[in-house]
Amino acid sequence: LKRTVITTSDGSTSIHLPEWNEQYHSKHGAVQEARHVFIQHGLNLFTDRPIALLEMGFGTGLNAFITLLEANKRNLSVAYTGVEAYPVDLEELRALNFVSVLQAEKYAAHFEHMHRCDWESFVDISSYFTLRKQQQFFQKFSAVDEFDLIYFDAFGARVQPDLWEEAIFQKMFQALKDGGVLVTYSAKGSVRRALQAVGLEVERLPGPPGKREMLRATKPIKLTG
Ligand SMILES: C[S@@+](CC[C@H](N)C(=O)[O-])C[C@H]1O[C@@H](n2cnc3c(N)ncnc32)[C@H](O)[C@@H]1O
């Protein structure tokens, strides 16, 4: 698929897929969306202990980079696994303006390292952030009781409906620890019902600018004995 770098309403860049008329982030603001959905309603739930985080759709690394900045700011250790089948190329990378929009010039080398580092094993990017990129299809992903938090950031159900169905969410349920949380920008009724059908407890939360709602799903804590 053809990909072009675009600028969204908050001045931050994203990637556009003309054939699907789909973006990697909200047209209303890539950075705003990432901060609202994944940081405010996801990462901010965790304050006091190291966490294991899974991102479905590593893409431009925007969510990962903002998470690294937050981890460093708050002395929160994050082990970040990013699953991605179609990595961005270096020309696209050069056209992304996240470092300047986030006023994170001090971390420019970290952003570059996140993209250039090896795949398939954990690499220290900063003292609080380690990254494992996995080049893989979501459909092949598998993990058990491993993650505290999942950023579910596939393309929309309009263009990739199979990634928003129970089979994938069953994998997400398995991958979460008890009490673990999945956040996504989607608020579709069919997505909410599929998340509930695999056993997750789902909340509707206010969405980022330009979207009324988003979803957050929690894996219930098993009561024993
Ligand atoms: C909405 S974008 C993710 C944006 C990303 N989180 C960011 O911050 O830039 C969805 C991503 O999923 C990837 N993708 C699409 N289909 C996939 C599949 N079947 N398996 C794995 N990755 C896939 C795309 O290449 C794209 O990078």
pLDDT tens per residue across span 157-179: 999 999 999 999 999 999 999 99
The angle that helices 189-197 and 166-175 make with each other, rounded to 10 degrees, is 50
- Going from the Cα of 150 to the center of ligand 1, the distance in angstroms, rounded, reads 14
pTM of the shown model: 0.98
pLDDT tens per residue across span 23-54: 999 999 999 999 999 999 999 999 989 999 99
Residue with the smallest CA separation from ligand 1 atom 2 is 24
pLDDT tens per residue across span 49-62: 999 999 999 999 99
Binding-site residues, ligand 1, Cβ < 6 A: 24, 57, 59-60, 62-63, 83-86, 137-138, 153-155, 160
pLDDT at 106: 97
Residue with tokens 């994944």: 38
pLDDT tens per residue across span 13-26: 999 999 999 999 99
Residues 6+ apart with CB under 8 A from 101: 10, 11, 12, 13, 31
Pocket probe for ligand 1: among 86, 152, 162, the residue whose CB has the most ligand atoms within 8 Å is 86
| Residue 78, pLDDT above cutoff 80 | yes
Distance CA 168, CA 95 (A): 32
Distance CA 2, CA 48 (A): 42
| Residue 84, pLDDT above cutoff 90 | yes
- Going from the Cα of 56 to the center of ligand 1, the distance in angstroms, rounded, reads 7
- Going from the Cα of 135 to the center of ligand 1, the distance in angstroms, rounded, reads 11
Distance CA 25, CA 180 (A): 24
pLDDT at 224: 77
Distance CA 180, CA 190 (A): 22
pLDDT tens per residue across span 112-133: 999 999 999 999 999 999 999 9
- Considering just the CA atoms, what is the radius of gyration of the chain in Å? 16
pLDDT at 160: 96
pLDDT at 225: 66
pLDDT (mean) for 140-145:
98
Pocket probe for ligand 1: among 24, 136, 165, the residue whose CB has the most ligand atoms within 8 Å is 24
Q: At 28, which amino acid appears?
A: H
pLDDT (mean) for 142-158:
97
> Is there a contact between 164 and 157 (Cβ–Cβ < 8 Å)?
yes
pLDDT tens per residue across span 186-204: 999 999 999 999 999 999 9
Exposure string of 29-48, with b = 16+ CB inside 10 Å and e = fewer, is bbbbbbbbbbbebbbeebee
Token representation of residue 157: 């159900």
Atom of ligand 1 nearest to the CA of 55: 6
